[in-house]
Structures are given as C-alpha cells and as structure tokens.
Chain A
Amino acid sequence: MYPYNLDFNPYPSSPTPTEKDAKILGGKRHKEAKAAILECIKELNRKVEGKTAENNDFRVITVVQDVGSGKTHLSLHVKSLKGRYNAECSYIDLSTISPKTISGLYDAILKGFDNEFFVQLREKFLNYLRENAEQGDNSAKKALDYSFVNKLTGMTIKEKTEEIIRGKQFVSLENLTAFLIHKFEYHESILIKNVISNSFDEVKNLETLIGMLSSISKLTHRFLGKVLVFEMDELDGNKDSIEFIKGVINAHLPASVLLLISTPSGYLEIQNTNPSVFDRLEKANYKIDLAGSNSKDELAEIVTEYIKHSDKDNKFGSQEQQELNEKIHVLYEEFTEFRNVRSVINILYQAMEKASQSDSKKIDESVIDEAIKQSYPGLRVRGSIMNIPISDFLAIRRNGNNSEKEIKSAVKSLTVFAQEMGSIQKLEKKNLLLDAVYQDNFGSKIGLAVIADELGIPDLEQISDMSKAAVVDKLVILTNKKIQTPYNATVVNMDKSKVVDLIYFNNKYNDKKLTEEDNERIELLAKTLSIV
C-alpha cells in the first residue's frame, strides 16, 4: 500500500514521459497551454466540417520552453485526447532520427500514429471500394479481386470485403492501381495502396514526402472526418529538420495542425540557421508560452494532480495537500536541483516507494530525505554549519518564519552550551533588553540581544535603548532583519540557514541528542554568531 491509501505509485518513473504517463496533466500553465492547443484543433474542425479540406486549413503552433519543463508531456497528453477532439495525432521525436533523411522522417511520422489509425483508414478505404463495386464499378470489383467464382459460390461483395479486412483474402494491387488512378491524385493513390496492403513505399525526396503527408491529411479528413496533428518534438537548428519543417509549412497540409516543440536554445538556433523558417515560426497561429511552468506553485499543482487522479478513496484531503505543497515549496526554494517538473516528479516517485516500504501513510520529511539520499547522494543543505539532514531542514523550514521566541530560546541554549564547553562565563542579566550577558575568555563583558521581530520593521528605538543601557564592554545584536548598526554594537545578520541551524541545534540540545562530533560544529556556529 502506498501513502494516502493509494494502490499504486501515481508518479511515473521514466526519465522522459511516455504516452501512458502523460494521461495526467497538472498545473495551471500546462492546462492553459493544453486549452490553447485544443481550441486550435476545435477551430480547425469547425472550419473543415462538412467540406473538402483546403490548403488554407492549416495551423502552426509553437511551444518553446526549457528542457524538463513538461513540453513533451503536454504533447503526449494532447495525443492521448485525440479521440475526444476529432483528431488523429502523430508524435515525432526529431532527436531520435539520425540521420534525418527524408525516408527516416517519413517512417517516424508513420510510426508516430497509433496503429489503430491505419486499421481504421484501411477499413474505410476497403469499404469505399466495396461501395463502388456494389454500385457496379467493375474496376472496383477487380480491385477487390471479386471473381466470377466468388459470385458462383454465393459470396457477396460485402463478405469478400470483410474477408480482406480480416486479412483472410487480399486485394489485387494491379487492379487497385487501375481503379485509384481515375479517382485519386497520384500520392493519394499510393497512400491508399500502401495502407490497404499495409506496406509503405520508401520516400526519397522532399516533394514526395510532402505529397504523402498531404494525402494522409486529406484522406483522413475525407474518410474519417478528422483533422491531423503532427507533433514535432526537439526541433532545433539541424538543417535537415529545418528544411523539412519549411517544406511542411509551405505545403499547407490540409486539415492539419503542425505542433512544433523546441527549447529557447533550439529556437534561437533556428533564427541563426534559417531566418526564413524562423520568420514562419514567428508567424505561428498559436505561440504557446509556458512561462512559469517551472514555478513552485506550478510544480506543487502538478505533484498533487497525480495523487488526486489516483485517489479513489478521497484520502488526500486539503490538509494533506497543503502539507505536501509546503514540502515542495521548501524543496524548490532551497535546492536548485528541484526547480523543474522532471526532477520533482522523480523525487516524488522515489519518496512514494520509500513510504510504501516503511508503511508511511503520507509523504513525510523522512521519506523525502531518504529519496534524496538515494537519488542525489551528494546533496547537502547549502550554508548549513550543523550539517543538518534534509528531513530536519524541511521540517524546520516548513514552519515558515521562525518566531523571535524560538530564536531567542535557541540563542540562550547556545550560550548555556558555550558555558558548559568553557568558552564563556555567563553573568547575571540585569538589563531586560539583553538576552544574555557573559564574560568571554578575554575577560570582556558581552551583552547579547536578539532582534527577530516577525512584524517586519525592527523597533529602532528598542535598539537605541539597548545600546544606551547596555553596561557591557561589547554589545552583540543577532538579527535576521535589516537594521541600522548602532555605533557601539556589533550586528550579526542571521540568514535563513543560520536560523535553521540554530533551531536544529536547539531541538537536539533540548532532546539531549547532541553527540561529541556536534561540538566542533556548534562551536563554529557560535563563532559565526560572534557569541564566542
């Protein structure tokens, strides 16, 4: 059993998305991008409905964003929805075609369609032949190889066609060519023959490739009533890819959408390599901008979407969702490693597995810690003197702004610890504004004050009073705020990592969990805070 009562791990484990993984799409920006693509498909469908698709029924969409931001996932998700939006889709990863020859590109486009697509198209073509044969077209009968013997044995044209559809009998390719030549254009005839015989001719030049793609689009619209979406992923400055894209755009494939997916680097490469193609891309019908697709809110939404999708028992309530979001936010803020969809999903997959092994009911700090240790063994909390484990770090940071009271308590514990170590000698604290008074090893009397006001604006009067009233040799002010430095004080700024270190130290100190090897780190922490 997985956390939140899930029967399986909802996160994909593959380094790049697969069609199966892409059935779930989360995140506001990604959903907006999806809506834009679907709107384009719907608009094109409205335009070509009930008529023959023309060359001007062609749309170009560009999606440009950094690697790991969910572009491929979005494309595959759109492909998974094709049936609902009266479309067929071919997904092509240009990076997997090498060399990018015309025949290689054509093969990849054909393979990019679902098998079911060609099965449907074949059936439609054969039924078209049947209809013609039934209406007395002898060339259609010949194409179906419907012979006198068939007729004598009582086999109808329909039965013959069904036998061919089931693969028990075959068409006559020679007669099929003769039939098609009068009714279809050259490339359309070849395509129909290829689909019916389930064997595609090799394409050797761009002109033929464009002709074949155009035929697929036109015949898909005519026989299936659907528009086509060609998704070209990993488009970059490769000359062969660009020439091909230029040809496709110039050809205006009827009833088709060309979805081009690139990175900023790839897109600007195209600008430098081929300004003419770049200009065409700049004039795309839809330029989808996934700005903010790697923002922390977007990542948190994507992460929760996977669980929500699999949460049949509604165990993943708003509280659980908020807790998980907070953890994602902390991971995002503190580790640049987790600022893209791919890496966060990977960690969540690992964390789910760890949680399942330890029977944890939720994704807590410890399972995230274990997952990070496994996937990113060298990862440490930046700037941490105490070498704080990531799980403790997440827990402390999740509490948000640590209160002044908490920080004061930690500083007090640190001075007590320093006294126990013999580094300082605590003195009686007569001034209420000071948090500790002690004598250092040089005999100087030190006054320590903590200013960590959550209200945001530190009380300058308070600082002034403190410095006037401090009857000490040295006044040290520890603060996590920007304050004016009084003339007689040393101000030590405590950044987030120092505050977290302090709280972590205090928790361990109070729980009596400090070990001997912590001593050196604690001393260093006290030194950086000017306590010793």
Chain B
Amino acid sequence: MKDEILEKIKSSGISGVRKVDLKKVFGKTCEGILEELKANEQIFIEKKGVAYFVWTSENYVQHVTQNDPKFKLMLNMFAGVNQSIAKVKAHADVLQEELERASRETGSKSDDFEGVFNSSLNESSTSIGWVPFDKIREKVCENQNLSKEKFYQMATNLIENHYDKYEISSGGQEGIVMRGLVHGYVRNI
C-alpha cells in the first residue's frame, strides 16, 4: 500500500494532494504510512488554509519555487554557487591532471637522466674508471637539453641518493660541491 500511496502523491505533481483525499482512497490507516514517509523525507506535508496538502520532496521544491519568490531567489543564488563550485572542481581536476602529468614527466626525466648519466659514464670511462664530470655533462646536457646548473643539481641528487653506487673525487675545474670542495671526477663502484 505504501508504494501505491507514494505513487498517488507523485502523480499529483506540483499541486500536491489533500490528505483527506488520500484517506478517502486508502482509508484512515494511511495516516501511519504518511508519517513514516515523512520521517524518511520522501514526502512533504504542509497546511494550506484548513487543509493539509501532501507532495513528494521533488514536487514540493518545484511548488515553492513557483509560488514563493523568496525561495526562488535563494534557489537561484544556490544554483549559482553550485555552478561556481563545479567550475572550481573542474579547474581543480585540470590542475590535478596537470600536476600528475608534470610529476610523471619529472619522474621520467629523472629516470632518463640516470640512464643517460650512467651510459655517458660508462662510455667515457678511463682505465681507472674515473671520468671528469665535464665530459659527462657535455653528453647529458646535449641529450637531455639541460642547462649546466640543472645538470649539476640532478647529478648531485643522483649521487647523494646512490652514494653506494658512485664514488666522487676532488679536483678538476667543474663538478659537484661536497664538503665545500669541487669534486670533478666520478666513477661507478
């Protein structure tokens, strides 16, 4: 019976249906079902004059939108806010995507850097394994389109993070600075 009552209320549209008319159709026992539907926020009951009218929640919103100018005004404002939020959210999504893409690119560039650095190191290696940084820098910067500063920044990070893989040695005209000393030579251990 509950579904039938709800269907009847829904079909009444934005005008709603009088409670007394529902009682006529479904009998006095429908009072309890109406209270239950109201508690579940599925219907809305409002007193108009001496009669009680019943709407579904959706229909009631439309009803007051058409008949109450204050509510209409607030709803319009709310819709505007909603649109702004949606816009902000869309913008945030774009930013998030951009950020992830940039992060992926940085990650892959960093991975590429390590690979190119290692292959340059192996290619330039002398009999004792030590290679001047400037030789590697020339190759890597050309390959990765990096500035000299960026190269040394990335090389410092690479060596700092893998100190068990590389050895550096002081001297030379350029290189990474450790303990205040220019370390111009590097090799794989």
A positions within 8 Å CB-CB of B: 64-67, 263-268, 271, 282, 287, 289, 291-292, 294-295, 333, 336-337, 339, 343
Smallest Cβ-Cβ distance to B130: which chain A residue: A264
Q: Please, which residues of chain B bring their CB within 8 A of the CB of A66?
A: 167-170, 185
CA separation between A266 and B169, bound complex, in Å?
11
Give A340 to B164 CA distance when docked, in angstroms.
13
Residues of A within 8 A of B163 (CB): 333, 339
**Contact A267 B130, beta carbon cutoff 8 Å:** yes
Q: Is B127 a contact partner of A282 (Cβ separation < 8 A)? A: yes
For residue A68, which residue of chain B has the nearest CB? B170
Chain B nearest CB, measured from A294 CB (Å): 7
Contact present for B169 and A65 (CB under 8 Å): yes
15 interchain pairs (CB within 8 A)?
A66-B170, A67-B169, A263-B169, A263-B170, A264-B187, A265-B170, A265-B171, A265-B185, A266-B171, A268-B130, A287-B128, A289-B129, A295-B164, A336-B178, A339-B163
CB closest chain-A residue, reference B128: A64
- Give the complex CA separation of A294 and B169 in angstroms: 11
Given A264-B185, A336-B178, A337-B179, A292 contacting B130 (CB threshold 8 A): no
How far, in angstroms, from A263 to B189 measured CA to CA in the complex? 16
A282 vs B178: C-alpha distance when bound (angstroms): 29
Query: Does B132 belong to the interface (CB within 8 Å)?
Result: yes
Separation of A268 and B134 alpha carbons in the complex (Å): 13
Residues of B within 8 A of A266 (CB): 171
Q: Which of A67, A295, A343 contacts B170 (CB 8 A)?
A: A67
Please name all residues of chain A whose beta carbon is closer than 8 Å to the beta carbon of B178 when the two chains form the complex: 336, 339
Q: Does B80 contact A (CB under 8 A)?
A: no
Chain B residue at minimal CB-CB distance from A295:
B164
B3 to chain A, nearest CB (A): 31
B141 CB to closest chain A CB (Å) equals 21
Taking CB atoms, residues of chain A closer than 8 Å to B179 are 336-337, 343
| Chain B residues in 8 Å Cβ range of A336 | 160, 178-179
The answer to the question of B76 belonging to the interface, with a C-beta cut-off of 8 Å to chain A, is no
Q: Is the CB of B169 within 8 A of A291?
A: no
Identify B171's interface contact among A264, A291, A339, CB under 8 A.
Answer: A264
B112-152 CB mask vs A (1 if < 8 Å, else 0) is: 00000000000000111110100000000000000000000
The answer to whether the Cβ of B184 comes within 8 Å of any Cβ in the partner chain is yes
Instruction: Enumerate chain A residues within 8 angstroms of B126, measured Cβ to Cβ.
Output: 268, 271
Min CB distance, A135 to chain B, in Å? 54
A126 to B37 alpha-carbon distance, docked (Å):
126
Q: Return the chain A residue nearest B164 by Cβ.
A: A295
User: A292 and B189: CB pair below 8 A?
Assistant: yes
Q: Are B167 and A268 in contact (CB under 8 A)?
A: no
Given A64-B130, A265-B169, A265-B172, 5 further pairs, Cβ under 8 A: A287-B128, A289-B128, A291-B189, A333-B163, A336-B178
Q: Which of B169, B178, B185 has the most CB of A within 10 A?
A: B169
Q: Nearest chain-B residue to A236 (Cβ)? A: B171
Complex CA gap A266/B184 in Å reads: 12
Chain B residues with CB below 8 A from A264, complex form: 128, 130, 169, 171, 185, 187
Tell me which residues across on chain A come within 8 A of B129, comparing CB atoms. Answer: 289, 291
A292 to B188, CA, bound (A): 10
Question: Does A265 contact B167, Cβ atoms closer than 8 Å?
Answer: no
The 0/1 profile, CB within 8 Å of A marked 1, for residues 149-175 of chain B is: 000000000001001100111111000
Given contacts A291-B189, A292-B189, A336-B179, contact A267 B168 (CB under 8 A): no
Contacts of A268 in B (CB 8 A): 126, 130, 132, 185
Contacts of A339 in B (CB 8 A): 163, 178
Bound Cα distance from A294 to B127, whole angstroms: 20
The closest CB in chain A to the CB of B186 belongs to: A264
Residues of B within 8 A of A291 (CB): 129, 167, 187, 189
Task: Please name the residue on chain B nearest to A290 by beta carbon.
Answer: B167
Nearest neighbor of A339 in chain B, beta-carbon distance: B163
Closest 5 CB pairs of A and B: A265-B171, A264-B130, A66-B169, A264-B169, A264-B185
- Pair A267/B128 contact, Cβ less than 8 Å: yes
Cα–Cα, bound, A448→B118 (Å) = 41
List the B residue with the shortest CB-CB distance to A289.
Answer: B128
CA–CA, A287 and B127, complex, Å: 10
Residues of B within 8 A of A295 (CB): 164, 189
Alpha-carbon distance between A294 and B187 when the two chains are bound, in angstroms: 13
Q: How far is the CA of A304 from the CA of B128 in the complex (A)?
A: 29
